[in-house]
Amino acid sequence: MSRITGTFAELKRTGKKALVTFITAGDPDLATTEELIPLLAENGADIIELGVPFSDPMADGPTIQLSSERALAAGTTLSRILATVKSVRGRTQVPIVLMGYFNPIFSYGLERFAADAAAAGVDGVLLVDLPPEEAGEFKACADRHGIDVIFLLTPTSDETRIRTVTNRARGFIYYVSVTGVTGVRSGIEASVAGNVNIIKECSKVPVAVGFGIATPEQAGEVAATADGVVVGSAIVKLFEKHRGEELKGALATFVSSLKQAVDRGRYDN
- Residues, the chain: 269
CA distance 250 to 269: 34
* 97-120 pLDDT per residue, tens: 999 999 999 999 999 999 999 999
**The predicted structure's pLDDT at residue 180:** 52
What is the DSSP code (8-state) at residue 117? H
Specify the DSSP element, H or E, that contains 99.
strand 96-100
What is the DSSP code (8-state) at residue 147? P
State the average pLDDT over residues 231-236: 96
CA distance 89 to 75: 22
**The predicted structure's pLDDT at residue 108:** 98
* 59-76 pLDDT per residue, tens: 788 999 999 999 999 999
Specify the DSSP element, H or E, that contains 108.
helix 102-108
State the average pLDDT over residues 31-55: 98
pLDDT band for position 189 (cuts 50, 70, 90)? low
* 78-103 pLDDT per residue, tens: 999 999 999 999 999 999 999 999 99
What residues act catalytically? 49, 60
Instruction: Of 27-36, 116-125, 187-196, 236-245, give the lowest mean pLDDT range.
Output: 187-196
Whole-number mean pLDDT of the chain?
A: 94
The answer on pLDDT for 4 being more than 70 is yes
**The predicted structure's pLDDT at residue 183:** 45
Residues 157, 177 contacting (CB under 8 angstroms): no
* 126-182 pLDDT per residue, tens: 999 999 999 999 999 999 999 999 999 999 999 999 999 999 999 999 999 875 555
What residue ranges do the domains of the chain occupy?
Answer: 3-263
Q: Does domain 3-263 have CATH number 3.20.20.70?
A: yes
